Structure 1
Amino acid sequence: MNLNLLIDNLTSPALLFFILGIVAVRLKSDLEIPQNSSKFISLYLLFSIGFNGGRELAHSHFTLEIVWAILFGVLTSLLIPFYSFIILKRKLSIENAGAIAAAYGSISAVTFVTAVSFLEIQNVPFSGHMVAVMALMEAPAIIVGVVLIRLYGKKDSSSPRIGSLVSHSFTNGSVMMILGSLIIGLLASEKQAQGIAPFTTDIFKGFLAIFLLDMGIVSGRKLNDFIKSGWFTSLFAILVPLINGCFIAWISGLVTAETGDRLMFSILAASASYIAVPAAMKMAVPKANPGLYLPMALAVTFPFNITFGMPIYMSIILG
């Protein structure tokens, strides 16, 4: 692994603010970001990523590579839950195994946002269509997770239908914001886009730093719950995302030669959802324990990816 790449990532302000949040919790500080402010910052980051992705897409021609990128992303999101479920059901209940498998097959928009910042620091561009790939990777894993629970678990006639789950996935606030912003960015003229450029680009890194501070605080609070769950979930939350990210970093070269796009594929495959999946599982599988899959995704996999994961995947891509 490129040591300079790792050091650059570990000393970036965004990551250090995340660590500050964890430290504040461990020291029992009263530091916190107001809930309404946190939600606004989340929406802003998704808006900025989506809008700029739409602008990039507007400047590019629709090619077969974009089609392959979308298919590759969706296929990845479909396959990861299957083998994750097989591993998890050996130690956990069917409901918990399915929920965790769905979380790790789906994606984390926040990790994607952090990867954007990482690529900017490295001066590596990525294609606008990767925003669309990210949004389309969210729902398939949720569907697979629910189907696996129904196949292996007890039948429950009160469970919502697959169609309602798909609809819920795409109308989820984070997906709606990023897809809507993507379309608006695609339709906006150059002059119109320039008019809001200070808001869509100039303040992005500052908001990201504050958001990661908030994520550090949330992660720090959930860390104790996760530690109590035992070694199996701890190992899974680190090793499976690492394997996913490394494998996709290697095989994504068959789909695109763009370094930035390959890193985005890797980080999407390695990330775990802690927004859309918990919302869907609460509706579809109420017996699944959020005290397991939320801390796994948020307190372990997310920090691992933004500290060590991204430099590892980038090193594989650069060969």
Structure 2
Amino acid sequence: MDLLLDFLTRFVTQFQSPSLAFLIGGMVIAALGSKLEIPDAIYKFAVFMLLMRIGIDGGMAIREADLGDMLLPAAFAALVGCLIVLVGRVTLAMLPGVKTEDGIATAGLFGAVSASTLAAAMVMLEADGIAYEAWVPALYPFMDIPALVLAIVLADLYLKKRKAGADAKVRIWPIVKESLQGSALSALLLGLALGLLTRPDQVFEGFYDPLFRGLLSILMLIMGMEAYTRLNELRRVAHWYGVYAAVAPLAHGLIAFGLGYLAHLATGFSPGGVILLAVLAGSSSDISGPPTLRAGIPTANPSSYIGASTSIGTPVAIAIGIPLFIALGQIVFDI
């Protein structure tokens, strides 16, 4: 009974989070027929600022890390991010009634990472006295960027092949290059490089970080309004997204836990680090993913990938996934 109550409490709490509240607010005012419009230039500026902030933060964290210890966990993080997208491509994206690009975008969002879920797991580990390496949160971009790039490439490959004909040959490298040169990924990669190779601490703390949550709220409001306009497309196949969003966080996390355990045996990767790697894999992006996918796969329905993530995926990842992976870590590592 207490476990069920805890789950319901965490579930309701997710709907009180600022990001989700603004997303729902955008859907509500769109449903009420509001004429509110936010200029596209503001949307593009907000996306740029958010992705630069995430990239710079990740780059600074990597710069301070011991790269030797970080190498294998980082490789496993990238592998898991790509694997999640590939599995989604041959499962969700192949189900009857699911638009292929919608399925790929959803897998891309679940392959990417939620900063809020990661933060929640770090707080819980510290409360339980479970230590982890200081650089583990910097694994974020190693999983996030490959998953998003791969999702965009797979969707672009599918759309180009469908347009040119099933038997047509499509060159992959130009698609990869075009994806990396896209506005969203360019901003994310630029921020990562600046954080890693320069000393942007003052401009980060004085400009990018203070504006972060406000700009995120504007972005989620815009995406909520857009999502509502495309809800009818989702209603036909909502059950498939519900099943995927409920199962994926736990399945992805368990895969990452297994790889993290191998890193523990090979390099001494801490139990707390293994747990956080599982949490990263079990989360679905709430910041970098939506704007990146909207820019990279514009034909995909935001209602599908945002709805699956925010309404089911994130609550499952936080309410069930984090306690599950902590308990599993305590059993496996006897801590």
What band does the TM-score fall into relative to the shorter chain?
A: 0.7 to 0.9
Q: Tell me what 1:267 maps to.
A: 283
Q: Which shows bigger deviation, 203-212 or 308-317?
A: 308-317
Distance in 1, Cα, partners of 2:179 & 2:319: 30
CA separation in 2, counterparts of 1:86 and 1:145? 14
- Give the superposition deviation at 1:253: 2.5
Decide whether aligned partners of structure 1 residues 120 and 208 sit closer, same or farther in structure 2, where only a CA change above 3 A counts: farther
Pair 1:253–1:71, CA change in 2 (3 A): closer
CA offsets 1:261-299 (integer angstroms, 9 cap, x no match): 4322222499996666677678xxxxxxx47x5542244
- Post-superposition offset of 1:182: 0.8
2:55 paired with 1:56? no
Counterpart-to-counterpart distance in 1, 2:246 and 2:313: 8
Structure 1 residue 214, shift from structure 2 partner: 1.7
- From 63, 68, 85, the counterpart of 2:90: 85
Q: Please state whether the residue corresponding to 1:137 is helix, strand or coil.
A: helix
Equivalent-residue separation in structure 2 for 1:123 and 1:11 (angstroms): 20
For the pair 1:71 / 2:76, whether they are aligned, the reply is yes
| TM-score for the superposition, normalised by structure 1 | 0.76
What is the distance in 2 between the residues matched to 1:46 and 1:90? Answer: 32
Which secondary structure state, in structure 2, belongs to the residue aligned with residue 106 of structure 1? helix
Aligned match for 1:102, one of 101, 104, 125: 104
2: CA distance, partners of 1:203 / 1:87: 36
Aligned to 1:243: 247
Deviation at 1:305, TM superposition (A): 3.2
Correspondences of 1:49-198 after superposition (within 5 Å): 49-78=54-83, 80-82=85-87, 84-86=89-91, 88-89=93-94, 91-92=96-97, 96-97=99-100, 99-107=101-109, 112=113, 115-120=114-119, 124=123, 127-141=137-151, 155-157=166-168, 160-189=170-199, 192-198=200-206
The Cα of 1:318 is off from its aligned counterpart by: 3.1
Per the alignment, do residues 71 and 269 of structure 1 end up closer, same or farther by CA in structure 2, a change over 3 Å counting? farther
Residue pair 1:273, 1:297 contacting (<8 A) in 2 also: no
**Residues 147/134 of structure 1: CA separation in 2 closer, same or farther (3 Å cut):** same
List runs of 5+ in structure 2 lacking aligned partners.
Answer: 124-133, 261-268, 328-335
In 1, Cα distance between equivalents of 2:165 and 2:311: 35
Distance 1:250 1:48 in 2: 30
Task: Judge conservation of contact 2:249–2:313 (CA < 8 Å) in 1.
Answer: no
Contact kept in structure 2, 1:241 and 1:271, CA below 8 Å: no
Aligned residues: 297
Contact 2:105 2:152 in 1 (8 A): yes
CA contact (8 A) 1:250 1:316 kept: no
| Residue 211 (structure 1) aligned with residue 227 (structure 2) | no
**Alignment check: 8 A CA contact 1:106 1:138 kept:** yes
Shift of 1:314: 2.5
Provide the rounded CA distance (Å) in 1 between the counterparts of 2:14 and 2:92. 31
Residues of 2 paired with 1:44 and 1:55: CA distance? 16
Deviations 1:92-130 (A, max 9, x none): 59xx44x34432432379x74xx3245446764852232
Q: Which residue of 2 aligns with 1:223?
A: 231
Structure 2 partner of 1:316:
324
1:12 is aligned to 17
User: Which one-letter code corresponds to 2:190 in the other structure?
Assistant: G
Per-residue CA distance 1:130-180 (angstroms, 9 max, x = gap): 2132112223345556778979x96343x5311112212222222111111
1-side partners of 2:204 and 2:286: how far apart? 33
Residue of 29, 32, 40 corresponding to 1:27: 32
- The Cα shift of 1:316 comes to 2.6
Contact 1:238 1:300 in 2 (8 A): yes
Give the whole-Å Cα distance in 1 for the aligned partners of 2:287 and 2:53.
20
Amino acid at match of 2:323: S
Q: Is the 8 A contact 1:222 1:295 kept in 2?
A: yes
TM-score (norm 2): 0.73
CA distance in 1, matches of 2:294, 2:175: 12
What fraction of aligned residue pairs are identical, expressed as a percent? 18
Q: Give 3-state SS (helix, strand or coil) of 1:60's partner.
A: coil
Contact 2:46 2:219 in 1 (8 A): yes
